[in-house]
Amino acid sequence: MARYTGPSCRLCRREGMKLYLKGTRCETSKCAIERQWRNQPPGVHPFGRGKLSEYGHRLREKQKLRRYYGVLERQFRRIFSEASKETNTGEALLLLMERRLDNVVYRLGFAPSRCAARQLVSHGHFLYNGKRVTVPSITLKPGDILKPRDRDATKKLLQLNLSAASGRTPPQWLSLDADSLQATVASLPTREDVSIQIDEQLIVEFCSR
């Protein structure tokens, strides 16, 4: 499975915002966006690049969304192709991203970041509707049940992550039983459930050109 292996903070600096790629570290003063001498685009001459064109603005919105959810270009194109079948392509794109299994694991608090959530899923720590799953890109639907495998090490790790993420509550479209660690997709997410500040219309214009 292909994945990005470069420096995470470089991506946040390039997009000029926190993408929360390092979990709780992004909430501390160690975050590159919080440091005045690091809060600038990466590269040798970060401020000598001129003004972004319309194409550049659309590209940056697409890259911001792709990096926020941790998907590569081919994966993103596949999801956009599926979203383009809906009436509101931009909103459908965001909601398909939000319903990815690795994102759901992160939003429930089972992992400190989406990258860590993807690793937990791919290593087979979860049961999806009663069956072991190792595919982070599965799109969940209402009624689906997610719970950890019956292993002490897995449950202990998830409990530890839940305690560390106590200030981050799951969205309303997800239901979590903290005692049994079983989660249920109660409903479909809405546009308001997408926490990243992004203009999805620019992404649609970029991908439809």
Domain ranges of the chain: 100-188
Each as own residue / partner, the long-range contacts of residues 92-98 (CB below 8 Å, 24 or more positions apart, any chain) are 93/65, 93/200, 93/203, 93/204, 94/65, 94/191, 94/194, 94/198, 94/200, 95/188, 95/189, 95/190, 95/191, 95/194, 96/139, 97/65, 97/69, 97/71, 97/194, 98/189, 98/193, 98/194
- pLDDT tens readout for residues 153-192: 999 999 999 988 877 888 999 999 988 999 999 999 999 9
- Mean pLDDT of the region 85-114: 94
Give 18's pLDDT tier (boundaries 50, 70, 90): confident
- Mean pLDDT of the region 34-54: 70
What architecture (CATH level 2) is domain 100-188? Roll (3.10)
Give 44's pLDDT tier (boundaries 50, 70, 90): low
Give 65's pLDDT tier (boundaries 50, 70, 90): very high
- To the question of pTM greater than 0.75 for the whole model, the response is yes
